[in-house]
Amino acid sequence: MSIAKILPKICAFAGIASLFALAGCGGGSGMVTTHQTGNFSNASLTGSYVFQIRGFLTTTPYREIGVITADGAGNITAGIDDLNTVGLGGAIQSTAAITGTYNISADGTGQMLLSSTTLGSLASVSQISLAITMVSTSKVELMEADTFAEGAGDAELQGSVSAPSGAFVFGLHQEVNANTGAASSEVGLLNISGGTLSGNFDQNLTSASSSLTLSGSANAPSTQGVGTGTYTDSASATTNFVYFVVNSGKFVFLVTDSGAVGSGTAELQSGTVSGGLSGTYVFGTRGDDTNFFADIATVGRFTASGATISAGSLDNMNEGSYSQQISFTGSPTTGSSNPSSSGRVAITLSVSSSSIPAVFWMVSPSRAYFLFESVASAEDGTADLQTTSSFSNSTLNGQFAMLMDGIDTNPEGVARIGTIQFDGNTKSTVVELVNDSATGSGATNPGALGGTYGITPAGRASVTVSNGGGALDLILYSISSSQAYALQIDQGSNTVGTVELQPQ
For 417-463, how does the pLDDT look when each residue is reduced to its tens digit (9 = 90+)?
A: 999 999 999 999 999 999 987 778 899 999 999 999 999 999 999 99
Task: Name residues whose C-beta falls within 8 Å of residue 307's C-beta, 6 or more positions apart in sequence.
Answer: 276, 277, 330, 331, 332, 333, 338, 339, 345, 346, 347
From CA 53, how far away is CA 377, in angstroms rounded?
A: 22
Query: What's the confidence (pLDDT) of residue 34?
Result: 52
Query: What's the confidence (pLDDT) of residue 473?
Result: 97
Structural domain boundaries in the chain: 18-157, 390-501
18-157 classified as CATH 2.40.160: yes
The two domains 18-157 and 390-501 share their CATH topology (first three levels equal)? no
Residues with pLDDT less than 50, the chain: 1-33
In CATH terms, the superfamily for domain 390-501 is Quinohemoprotein amine dehydrogenase alpha subunit, domain 2 (2.40.128.120)
Amino acid at 496: V
Query: What's the confidence (pLDDT) of residue 252?
Result: 98
Query: What's the confidence (pLDDT) of residue 441?
Result: 86
Query: What's the confidence (pLDDT) of residue 9?
Result: 26
Sign of CA dihedral 61, 31, 396, 321: negative
Query: What's the confidence (pLDDT) of residue 14?
Result: 25
From CA 259, how far away is CA 362, in angstroms rounded?
A: 31
Sign of CA dihedral 182, 183, 185, 191: positive
The pTM (predicted TM-score) of the whole model is 0.92
